[in-house]
Each structure stands twice: as C-alpha cells, then as structure tokens.
Amino acid sequence: MKSILIKDTTREERIKIVKESLYSCGTECEYCNGCDNLGGGRVDAFYQPYIDGEKEISELNAEYRAPKVK
C-alpha cells in the first residue's frame, strides 16, 4: 500500500483517498447517518485540511476522537 502521508501524495491523490474512504458504502455523505455523522452535513469537509496539505489524516482523526470539553 502506498503511503497516504501529505509528503508522499499530491492534492489530487489526497482528494481520491478521502473520497474512496468516505464513500465506501457507495453513496454520498451529505446528511447521511451511516458513519455516526447524524445528519451533520458533508463529512468530507472535515478532511479538507488533509486535502489542503495542512494536517495528516491521523491528526484529524485524533482530534475527532478526543473528548469534547464543555
């Protein structure tokens, strides 16, 4: 498997990685409840910093899993 790190991918490859990962069920993500999105809009927008080369997928996933402080 090829590396998915920012340094090893182009922007176009990162778009493809995100789309193939998120749309694995065969449908678009907008307002889908399938992945615990609970109708929260486009999930792929969450991965925009990865697509833009700003943050790795692992960083974004860790942020998502981190306990929310109220």
In angstroms, the CA 68 to CA 2 distance is: 33
> Quick one: which H or E segment has residue 53?
none
The C-alpha angle 32, 33, 39, rounded to 5 degrees, equals 70
Under 8 Å between Cβ of 8 and 17: no
Given this model, what pLDDT does residue 59 score? Answer: 95
- Binned at pLDDT 50, 70 and 90, residue 31 comes out as low
Residue-range definition of the domain harbouring residue 18: 6-65
Q: How many domains does the chain have?
A: 1
Of the candidates 11, 56, 37, the residue with the CA atom closest to the CA atom of residue 27: 37
- For residue 61, being part of any structural domain is answered with yes
Stated pTM of the model: 0.72
- For residue 59, being part of any structural domain is answered with yes
- For residue 1, being part of any structural domain is answered with no
